[in-house]
Structures are given as C-alpha cells and as structure tokens.
Amino acid sequence: MRLPPLVNPVETLSKDEISRYSRHLLIPEVGLEGQRRLKSSKVLVIGAGGLGSPVLLYLAAAGVGTLGIIDFDIVDESNLQRQIIHGQSDIGRPKPESARDAINELNPYVKVRLHRERLEVGNAHNIISAYDLIVDGTDNFATRYLVNDACVLAGKPYVWGSIFRFEGQVSVFWENAPGGNGLNYRDLYPEPPPAEMAPSCAEGGVLGILCASIGAMMATEAIKLITGIGETMLGRLAVYDALDMSYRFIPLRRAPSRTSIEGLIDYQQFCNVNRAPAAPANAIPVISARELKEIKESGGEVQLIDVRGIEEWNIVHIDGAQHIPKNRIMSAEVLAGMNKEDFIVLHCKMGMRSRDVLIEMQKHGFTNVKSLDGGILAWIREVDQSLPTY
C-alpha cells in the first residue's frame, strides 16, 4: 500500500553529507528531499540481536537522523553467528553500547539513543511515543503484542519481522494509517499460538544469514515509510523460504473478531490464555546440577534421560545420559516400557522441555522423577566447564 511520507524534510544536509549520500540523491524517488526526510526521522529499533543488527547498520548507513536502541541483554559468543553488529571484543558488553559503537564507526552523523532496559508495560508508551517509526526485531510473542498495542495507543507505525530456522516473515502494521486501511499485529495473530508451536531460536536454531535477508527487508520498509516511496508491506505478509529461495505474499485483512485496544495488559499472562494451567511449583521436583553430580560420584542409582533433539545431543551431552527426544518419550508406548519406580532425572537445554515431560510422566504414574534445574547449561556452568555451550 502506498502511503504519504511519514516525516517532513526539516533537516538540511551539509556538504559532507551530500557527498556521503550521493548515491541516494541520484535516485529520483529519493533525491535531496527524501534524504532530508531520513535525516529528520527518529526510528526506534527494539532488539539489537539477529534482526536488529542489519536493521541498525543499514538505517545508520542510509542516514536516519536518530536511532533509538532498546535492549537489556549482553553480547554472548553464540550471538556472533548472526548478530553482525557485534564483534569478538564485544563479548560481555551490553548490546546497546556495542551497537552504538558500530553505528558511530559507520556513520558519525547519526544520533544514537540508548535504552538499556527491557521493554515493559510501565515504560513502553513513553519510549515509543518519542519516535516516528518503530522496528520490532523481538523474538517472543509477549513482547510482540506489547509493541503492537503500545504502537496502536501511540498512533505509531511499525515494521515487524520474525525468523526461525530457514524461514522469515515481514510486514508493516499501522492502526491509524491514512485512508482507514489500518491493520495491527492482532489481525495476523488474534491469539498467541501455543508455546510448543513457537520455539525460540535458542531452542530451534536459525540460519545466521537469514537475519540479513529479513533485516534488509525490514530496513527497506522503514525507508519507504519515512520517505513515502514505493508500495509498503501494510496489508501484506511476506514469507521468505531460504531453502527454496522463494517469496510468498499473503494479503492481510482485519480480523472479524478484533476488538479495540484500550490499554496495555499483562502480556505474559495473555500469552498463556487458553493453555493448560501450569503445575504448582511443588508438583515439579527438580534437582540441581551439583546434587546430580554428587549422586553420580557416589555411585547412586539414577537414570539420566536427555529429552533434547538429536542435533543438540550431537553438539554436547552428559556422560552416561540416555537420549530419548521429548516427542518420543511422551508417547504412551515408550512410557509403558519404563519402570515407574526407577529414579529418573530428565534434562534438556535449560529445563523447560524436561519439565513438560516430567508432568506427562506424572500423569502416567511415575513418582520418582526429577528435572535437572537449568538443564545441561547449568551442568556445564556448575559441574563440567570443559563441555561446549550453545
């Protein structure tokens, strides 16, 4: 959908900036006026991770005048496979600071605002209201709904993207778009999908370069919105499959059951609506990595079962563990062949999948099962640091 320019060209370009952005100025659709709009714009990028990295770099290179970065995380070595705004020397640093330094090195004419905090109900409106355009690079549904609702209440458009393994999606949402054609994220996802249908990249993985493909599309949409050129993705969902090198464009319409957004809510609770109630804490027995180590060293009888996928098992596993993936061990056939009286310790990467399996085993009468608190990452951190993390 073609939209009018989001930002007025109030800023002027210096001689050096004209030289820097000359390749933009030569494009009739952008020109001097479009570049001035870019310089006048204020864009908030939520997340300096896989998607935020290429978005920030390309918007900085394009000459966006003010870039806001909100992220509470620090740079980890596992980020560097895809989060190209950070480098080896940035490991352990706050992501907003690392991203700021990369932007300053790329384009010193860009003003960078840092928000070293988690986006939450209490701060979302004040932060988002200070920008012309929002780019959402978050990786969980609770924050996506928060971003959406805060943008609706603040009247702000935003570019949204998501990635998983080899597939990415991109769209533009703007409830108050000119012409009465506004859409928001709830038109795409009226209700959050079940947790098991939305694994994170940390659990399911992602092709690193996919972030560049999707991030570049998101940055392109941001530039089109700011300058008013081209047909935006408002009203369309782009789906990219890197394995097939294929693009699909799906038209979006207002959800028939949509209701107006009157205020911000508890999004963690919302994303658990219509799911089975969580088991009480005392119904999920856990064992610490150190406790498991003591049992193993003392020769105690324990059956250690790894419920992760085969790819994760091949990366690293605990000596003596038996590999039975979650989708297999939760079948009645497999559980029927196991001794319900054995002392069993389940583990996954961080402890969530093993707790799901434990609850299912309790339903089948297993009474002596525990989940390794913190999963194999806790074991590596507290017991055997010679093992690789992922």
What is d(CA 306, CA 319) in angstroms, rounded to the nearest whole number?
11
Say if residues 347 and 354 touch (Cβ distance below 8 Å): yes
What is d(CA 298, CA 294) in angstroms, rounded to the nearest whole number?
6
- Which listed residue (151, 201, 211, 271) is catalytic? 201
Listed in sequence order, the residues at least 6 apart from 371 whose beta carbon sits closer than 8 Å to its beta carbon are 284, 285, 286, 287, 345, 346, 347, 351, 354, 355, 358
Say if residues 68 and 30 touch (Cβ distance below 8 Å): no
Say if residues 168 and 240 touch (Cβ distance below 8 Å): yes
348 catalytic per annotation: yes
Neighbours of 256 (CB within 10 A): 7
What is d(CA 147, CA 158) in angstroms, rounded to the nearest whole number?
9
Residues involved in catalysis: 201, 348
